[in-house]
Amino acid sequence: MKTIHDINFENKKALIRVDFNVPLDENGKITDTTRIVAAKPTIIKILEDGGAAILMSHLGRPKAQEDEFSLVQICSAISEIIGVEVNFVDNCVGERVEQAAADLEMGKILLLENLRFHKEETAGDSAFAKALSQLGDIYVNDAFGTAHRAHASTTVVAQYFNAESKCFGALLAKEIESLDRVLNNSEKPVLAILGGSKVSSKITVIENILDKVDEMIIGGGMSFTFIKAQGGKVGDSICEDDKQELALEILKKAEEKGVKIHIPVDVVAADDFANDANTKVMDITAIEDGWQGLDAGPKSRENFDTVVQRAKTILWNGPLGVFEMETFSKGTIALGNSIAAATKNGAFSLVGGGDSVAAVKQFGFEHKVSYVSTGGGAMLEMLEGKTLPGIAAIKE
């Protein structure tokens, strides 16, 4: 795997695909700078070598050239985080951009305008990718969040650089290594914790990782589909009735492979989907009508802690309850504490997928786990066993 550490960027202009698709408030201020901070090591390495950095990214899903999606509004924040002034050009291809790239001095940074202002970006257009490629000497892909998309800037552009002049950035390399460590080079026992509301969105992940894990916790809303499939009563809890057969198949496959599956035994049930609803703890197999399970109960939290403490490799994808509401956040917080303790005792823990990452940040576990992945969809596809086009393009 060729990374930025295998290349000397002295007197070279690096064209870097970053993922600066950051959340903005109504005033255009960034509410979470994680993705920019994560790209900093790659940019700094290039500048310290004596090279220059040309950054390209998308922001949001613009339908045309809309000001609310312009990268100019995050330019000063990038300068502040990187510690180097960032120059901006209001397009990403064309004569003006080519001139700005040509004039860029070593040690400096140039940020291009939103790639998705051109429909050719998401279409994976070759001419557009070629125009981008002419801006730099070396192509660096450091955008894990978009590595599963065969877009012009993430995949197609790589074909215009030879093997010696394209590589992975520090962030993307760390993502690949961390996932590889869980899936292929893990210390046993390996535990996967899958939460979230739907079995359907995690089927391929479950099927692919059954061969790689020793134990699996299935929590959150999707646990009710498994409980109902086995004859339990789930009240008004979220449940995919059409996936019950599949749930039973998964349990059977796990048994055949010797994988222990753990499902909550009790839940915090509520009479309404609201933070101030009436709540009581119920057996997960006997939830009363008019009540819905919205969090893992105290006994389940204890059971899960025991499972987590014996694991040496932990993958966490998806919360155990509706953690956005304080009343139903206890199960997810308890799980975070369990994983933090196991990590402190030497386990390798990888957290990924939008909701679990949000939970980890919200409850302060970010620096208490081994690695927090920056890409939701990309991580899920890697867990499904797919080859991501953005990764394959660098390796080719």
Is 60 assigned a ligand-binding role in the annotation? yes
Angle between helices 330-344 and 298-309 (to 10 degrees): 20
**61 labelled ligand-binding:** yes
Q: Is 20 annotated as a binding residue?
A: yes
Helix (H, G, I), strand (E, B) or coil at 179: helix
353 labelled as ligand-binding? yes
Report the SS3 class of residue 47: helix
Would the annotation count 384 as a binding residue?
Answer: no
Task: Give 314-352 as a DSSP string.
Answer: EEEES-SS-TTSGGG-HHHHHHHHHHHHHHHTT-EEEE-
Instruction: Check the annotation: does 220 bind a ligand.
Output: no
Question: Burial code of 193-225, b = ≥16 C-beta within 10 A, e = fewer?
Answer: bbbbbbbeebbebbeebbebbbbbbbbbbbbbb
Among left, alpha and beta (phi > 0; psi -120 to 50; other), residue 83 is: left
362 membership: H or E segment, kind and range:
helix 354-362
Locus of tokens 């860029």: 104
C-alpha angle 137-138-144 in degrees, rounded to nearest 5: 145
Residue 149 counted as an annotated binding residue: yes
- Pairing mode, if any, of strands 190-194 and 279-283? unpaired
Determine whether the annotation assigns residue 174 to a binding site: no
301 is in an annotated binding site: no
Contact 396, 4 (CB under 8 A): no
Residues forming the active site:
35, 198, 354, 377
DSSP strand E in 26-92: where?
52-56, 86-89
Q: Is 356 annotated as a binding residue?
A: yes
Q: Is 59 annotated as a binding residue?
A: yes
Residue 388, marked binder: no
113 is annotated as contributing to ligand binding: no
**Is 324 annotated as contributing to ligand binding?**
yes
C-alpha separations of 303 from 116, 232, 264, 331, 394 in Å: 47, 19, 8, 11, 43
The span from the CA of 176 to the CA of 335, in Å, is: 25
Determine if residue 181 is labeled as part of a ligand binding site.
Answer: no
Binding site feature residues for ATP = 202, 293, 324, 353-356
Binding site feature residues = 19-21, 35, 58-61, 116, 149, 202, 293, 324, 353-356
Binding site feature residues for substrate = 19-21, 35, 58-61, 116, 149
Binding site feature residues for (2R)-3-phosphoglycerate = 35, 116, 149
